[in-house]
Amino acid sequence: MLLTRFIVVFLSIYAAHLIKPAIGKINSKNNAIIDDIVEYKDFKKLLRTKTNVLVLYTSNVKQSADHIKVFKETAGIVKGTGTMVLMDCSNADKKKLCKKLKVNPDPVTLKHYKDGDYHKDYDRKMAVSSMVNFMRDPAGDLPWEEDPAGKDVIHFGDYASFLKHLKKDMRPMLVMFYVPWCGFCKRLKPDYSKAATELKAEGYVLAGMDVERQENALARRAYNITGFPTIIYFENGKLKQIYEGDNNKDGIVSFMRDPTSVLIKKPKDADWSADTNSEIVHLTKQSFEPALKDEKSVLVMFYAPWCGHCKRMKPEYEKAAVDMKQKNIPGVLAALDATKESAIAEQYGVKGYPTVKYFVNGQFKFDVNVRDADKIVEFMKDPKEPPPPPPPEKNWEEEEDTEVVFLKDDNFSTTLKRKKHALVMFYAPWCGHCKSTKPEFNAAAKALKDDSRLILAAVDCTRETAVCSQHEVRGYPTFKYFSYLKTKQEYNGGRKREDFIAFMNKANESAVPKSKSAEQHEEL
């Protein structure tokens, strides 16, 4: 009986010993963190296959619990962009590996590895947002919101939080809309931060928003931001004016204390509604409903005085109104300054400028996408609801008939290191020049597909932001030539199938060819 019990216990322990490693592997697959590397060769293999790796080394898991919690949460967010590895150096199996790597955590050390080699120690805050920012762009500058010098600047992470803030905070506020790569923005940030600190006690707010982030694209459209930095002044939650004073601390402080004291450098545009010769009916909150309710056909242009697209449309709209009067075409062309009458604009869901809407007897019918005088007159002759927009285009990489290789942040370097000749097209799905070039690039890739020494590749910069920032992509499309990733040069040649093929064939035959003069590209 005793022998039987001994055998049962022995078999149970042996079975648990066999099953335990398997369970560990299963958990590792389901977890965003890799925590089962023991051998040095496995660690080196990981670095060869993953280009963006952050390792948390710990000598005491219990003491490092808070660090590990942040690390795990970050891993779930950056999965697919970066690789997170947990190395418990107190574990008997991993002590040898930590010693081999010359890491002695006390109790925690974080090290980053890039393109197969050690890059740097992690030197940011131990917070999820900081670690996510780092993993998205490990070689980039410290984000402004993490710089201690900018602690008194309010940083809006997305456009939605900015709009929410405008509704609840009525204090005078200056907002700097910027992008991380802008040299003027970098030079202004220290002075802007100092101004924020000086003005904080006086009840003034200085804020910043990185409009390169996809979640802030709406801000660029809403305020027609085309240059950086663009600095806008708000009072009582409403836009008042574009700041055009001196770009230094003293200039900003003086302006906030007395916005009327700063000399406006550009001549102020005349108030459109004050033009007595205009054929446009200018609406206000009080006149909106009375003016529209008895009219059978009204087109209303919602605009902002500072909006560049509105300024370009204004003379066309005026011309259309004159043409309609001369030709006895029924209907009214009206306009409403949405920055003054924001309640009306919000009521009709106006998100950008200009927005054109069609009304019948005061009832909104549909939006109209017309900007030129001829098109406006043509519409008013026979007002019809425009057809629904076509279905969204397929993502380029989802197209079946393409030989283009699509690269991402985590496979860009590993793929190009293996190719003698690679021509990479950095693009954005919305870019018109990219769309016209795409079929030519596809055709060239198809013609060259049988040569294993070369590839034509593409990177979607609206998604793969880290690699596009690393290679200083400033407009779309941008073409760059690589040879084993060591040689890199700009391609500024033609955009036709035969241009791409000739360039790659010449690269195959001899040295890297010089490309011809550049064509158009769309700025970020």
Helices marked H in 382-496 = 412-416, 432-447, 465-470
Domains in the chain, start-ordered, CATH in brackets? 40-139 (3.40.30.10), 145-265 (3.40.30.10), 272-381 (3.40.30.10), 405-509 (3.40.30.10)
Give the model's pLDDT for residue 162: 94
The H-or-E segment that residue 22 falls in is helix 2-30
d(CA 344, CA 321) in angstroms, rounded, equals: 23
User: How confident is the prediction along the chain (524 residues), in pLDDT tens digits per residue?
Assistant: 444 444 444 444 444 443 333 323 323 334 689 999 999 999 999 999 999 999 999 999 999 999 999 999 999 998 888 999 999 999 988 999 999 999 999 999 999 999 889 999 998 888 898 898 889 888 877 888 888 888 999 999 888 899 999 999 999 999 999 988 777 888 899 999 999 999 999 999 999 999 988 788 888 888 888 778 999 999 999 999 999 888 899 999 999 999 987 654 444 556 788 777 788 999 999 999 999 998 999 999 999 988 878 888 988 999 999 999 989 999 999 999 999 999 999 999 998 889 999 999 999 999 999 999 999 999 999 999 988 767 767 789 888 889 999 999 999 999 999 999 999 999 999 888 999 999 999 999 999 999 989 999 999 998 898 899 889 888 899 999 999 998 889 998 999 999 999 999 998 876 544 444 444 555 44
Give the model's pLDDT for residue 516: 45
Cβ-based neighbours of 464, under 8 Å, separated by 6 or more: 407, 408, 409, 412
Give the model's pLDDT for residue 263: 53
Give the catalytic positions in this structure.
Answer: 307, 310, 431, 434
**Tokens in use for 328?**
């006895």
Give the model's pLDDT for residue 448: 94
Q: Specify the 3-state DSSP secondary structure of 415.
A: helix
Give the model's pLDDT for residue 297: 96
Structure-token match 């690039």, residue found: 441
Look at residues 376, 356, 375 and name the one whose alpha carbon lies nearest to residue 366.
356
Q: Is the peptide bond before 107 cis (omega within 30 degrees of 0)?
A: yes
Contact 183, 141 (CB under 8 A): no
Contact 144, 150 (CB under 8 A): yes
d(CA 470, CA 400) in angstroms, rounded, equals: 29
Look at residues 367, 364, 351, 255 and name the one whose alpha carbon lies nearest to residue 307.
351
Look at residues 447, 393, 400, 401 and name the one whose alpha carbon lies nearest to residue 423.
447
Give the model's pLDDT for residue 245: 87
Structure-token match 């051998």, residue found: 39
d(CA 332, CA 380) in angstroms, rounded, equals: 9
Residue 191's identity, in one-letter code, is: D
For the whole model, what pTM was predicted? Answer: 0.41
In sequence order, the β-bridge partners of residue 366 are 358
Give the model's pLDDT for residue 269: 59
Contact 114, 410 (CB under 8 A): no
CA distances from 34 to 283, 400, 408, 448 (A): 62, 34, 21, 38
